[in-house]
Amino acid sequence: MAFLDDLNTALKEALKSHDDLKVSVIRMTKASLKNKEIEKMSSLTNEEILSVLSTLAKQRRESIEQYSAAGRSDLADKESQELEIILSYLPKQLSAAELDNVIRSAISESGASSFNELGKVMKVLMPKIKGVADGKIVNQRVKELLGPAT
């Protein structure tokens, strides 16, 4: 519950400073967490909170891609600002070098030796990087490290 207390404090501060975007993002985040809690019918664990935040971040990244492709830089900028706020509540994201180390470790742990064993690697890897790396980037990097598809 410490996370929700932090979120409530941040909401109060954003309201006082008239930061409308931050107020909107925090309220949306709280609503998503509450919906997940109602769906589960019990309070959320830290892992579940991370999962909800990761989902919100992923939605923003996808929206940014789509708005950019459609030439709507104004909407892409707004989504980018929302993404920054959401990411501030997630744990620090892994750097490229740290991510590569975790991926290499997962590859050796799973015993994968070719692109065809991508699923094995991802099964081992995803629990380790949940909330600290973008799944799309991770998937792309694993494919690069395993080599070309045969």
pLDDT tens digit sequence for 127-139: 888 777 777 788 8
List the chain domain ranges: 2-87, 96-146
pTM score, whole prediction = 0.73
Contacts of 114 (CB under 8 A, 6+ apart): 146, 147, 150
The closest of 129, 121, 118 to 51, measured between CA atoms, is 129
Mean per-residue pLDDT pooled into runs of 10, the chain (150 residues) = 83 94 94 93 86 90 93 93 90 82 85 79 82 79 74
Q: Can you give the pLDDT at residue 64?
A: 94
Architecture of domain 96-146: Orthogonal Bundle (1.10)
Q: Can you give the pLDDT at residue 3?
A: 80
Q: What phi-psi label fits residue 60: left (phi over 0), alpha (psi between -120 and 50 degrees) or beta?
A: alpha
Question: Can you tell me which residue has the tokens 């692109």?
Answer: 115
Q: Can you give the pLDDT at residue 67?
A: 94
Q: Regarding the domain with residue range 2-87, which homologous superfamily does it belong to in the CATH classification?
A: Uncharacterised protein YqeY/AIM41, N-terminal domain (1.10.1510.10)
Burial class (CB in 10 A: 0-12, 13-18, 19+), 6: exposed
